[in-house]
Structure 1
Amino acid sequence: MYCTPFRGRRTAAATIVAATALLGGATAPASAHWEATPVSAHTQTETLQPEPTSPTAYEFGETLAGLEGEELEITFLAEIIGHHQGAIEMAQLELERGTSPDIRTHAENIIADQQHQIEQFTRWLDQWYGLTPDEAKAQAPEEARQEMATMEEEMQMMHEELLAVEAGEGFDVAFVQKMIPHHSSGIIEFLEPQARAPHAELRVASTAGITTQQAQVADFRTWLAGQDGNV
């Protein structure tokens, strides 16, 4: 699915509407309290579901909607680099402990795709603004810095919970349950630069990021639905 870039400045409300459409109509209210779902044994009657998307991701999307030009690009790049690194670390755990060939292939693709974007985005930060990712984060608006800190804590929680899961089919399920909301957060973050980033390169890369992660989320949801009663 190709995402046509939006034109003009997007309002915060429009960001939520766009995110809702891209994520299949499922969003978390900004006021909701996010908590990771404990990993537990599943019975044959349970329906496996992904964990919820962090409300802070929607708040950060709204914050980006209020930024323009250089500030928009710097703030987005400061966040997405760390966000991608978190996905890579979870994918590496899947390769160490997972057993599903399909999910392991997705993990390999996540590592390759997101490492490429990390290198690309880090290079652009330096070329365009003379900043490292840490320097870019320090220049972000205070509200954005607070939201980034919250999302970093949530990613660390996800990683720690995966570390506690034993290798095997159950690990595949736990990985997918966490990667779906992680990718959903990334899609939300890509919306504003896809629409309004001053550099065309970043608009194109954001569109690619949305398309890739949407496809993986769809595959993960289909796979997870097929695991009911098997774990």
Structure 2
Amino acid sequence: MTKHPTRRRAAVAVVATALSLALAPASFAAADPAPQGTANTASQGLKPLATSPAAYELGEELAELSGKELEITYLAAIIPHHRSAVEMAELELRRGADARVRAAAEDILAGQRLQLVELTRRLHQWYGLTPKQAREKAPEEAREEIDALASDTRARVEELRRTPAGKGFDTAFVRRVIPHHSAGIVQSLEVQARAVHPELREAARTAISAQQAEIDDFRSWLAGHKK
């Protein structure tokens, strides 16, 4: 796919806007991959892990697209992304101990389950596709970034699965859900402005608003647990 200069400028704007939302600045490679309670985690302190670079690359790819192609590619990416948020929230409710974090996980579970049902239905209604079929319809470059982001997300979920229950799990969950939400915001920026269907534009706006509010709350929670 040949990149159009106007779309390239829009892609840069996607990343700049995402960065202005106070997304994690550290490099993904430097992020702590170890379960909570290890020496590596302790040395870093209570900070969110970094947002996957694949999220920004996918945001740039979405900025290159329009119309049907933009919608199908976005839905192919965001539906599994929402599924992983549901999975992490379910783990928090089974293993977490902090009432505030557990309440936030309940909100994530309710909101993202609702969006999962709605977006999957819309994808079938508008284009007759399943999420897997939508991925196959996406441009090659976008498929690569969708797969890279999915791989990074699976690694984060597996880290949570290896984390023991209790207060340490709350910290591990919060540190991972912040960059996960940040990636969701980056994916949704172009769609909230340029999707063909107003229902999808509104869904993206709702997702951005909810995830940014949760990021702010989780960052506040982390700040209160530095000691």
Give the TM-score of the pair, scaled to structure 2: 0.90
Alignment CA distance shift 1:25-1:95 (3 Å): closer
Contact 1:36 1:158 in 2 (8 A): no
Q: CA deviation at 1:142?
A: 0.6
- AA of the residue aligned to 2:33: T
Alignment CA distance shift 1:91-1:161 (3 Å): same
Q: Which moved more, 1:64-73 or 1:36-45?
A: 36-45
Give the structure 1 partner of residue 201 of structure 2.
203
User: What do the CA deviations read for 1:110-154 (whole angstroms, capped 9, x no partner)?
Assistant: 111001111111111111111111111110001111111111111
User: What number of residue pairs does the alignment pair up?
Assistant: 219
Give the structure 2 partner of residue 152 of structure 1.
150
Contact 2:51 2:183 in 1 (8 A): yes
2:126 equivalent to 1:142? no
Structure 2 residue aligned with 1:39, among 23, 31, 35? Answer: 35
What's the secondary structure of 1:53's corresponding residue? coil
Alignment CA distance shift 1:40-1:88 (3 Å): closer
Q: CA deviation at 1:179?
A: 0.3
Q: Which moved more, 1:33-42 or 1:165-174?
A: 33-42
Give the structure 1 partner of residue 11 of structure 2.
12
Structure 1 residue aligned with 2:213, among 215, 219, 231? Answer: 215
Contact 1:44 1:228 in 2 (8 A): no
- AA of the residue aligned to 2:10: T
Give the structure 2 partner of residue 186 of structure 1.
184
- How far apart in 1 are the matches of 2:75 and 2:43? 43
- How far apart in 2 are the matches of 1:44 and 1:129? 48
Contact 2:36 2:169 in 1 (8 A): no
Higher relative contact order (CA 8 A, sep 6+): 1
Give the structure 1 partner of residue 119 of structure 2.
121
Alignment CA distance shift 1:167-1:67 (3 Å): same
- AA of the residue aligned to 1:179: V
What's the secondary structure of 2:50's corresponding residue? coil
Q: CA deviation at 1:39?
A: 3.0
Contact 1:33 1:55 in 2 (8 A): no
Give the structure 2 partner of residue 4 of structure 1.
none
Alignment CA distance shift 1:25-1:146 (3 Å): closer
Task: Percent identity, please.
Answer: 49
Q: CA deviation at 1:44?
A: 8.7
Contact 2:24 2:49 in 1 (8 A): no
Alignment CA distance shift 1:44-1:192 (3 Å): closer
Which consecutive unaligned segments of at least 5 residues does structure 2 have?
Answer: 1-5
- AA of the residue aligned to 2:34: P
Give the TM-score of the pair, scaled to structure 1: 0.89
- How far apart in 1 are the matches of 2:42 and 2:117? 43
2:95 equivalent to 1:76? no
Which consecutive unaligned segments of at least 5 residues does structure 1 have?
Answer: 1-7
Instruction: Give the structure with the higher percent helix.
Output: 2
- How far apart in 2 are the matches of 1:95 and 1:213? 18
What's the secondary structure of 1:220's corresponding residue? helix
Alignment CA distance shift 1:157-1:36 (3 Å): farther
Q: CA deviation at 1:47?
A: 3.5
Q: CA deviation at 1:11?
A: 1.3
What's the secondary structure of 1:11's corresponding residue? helix
Q: CA deviation at 1:27?
A: 4.5
Question: Superposition RMSD on alpha carbons, in Å?
Answer: 2.1
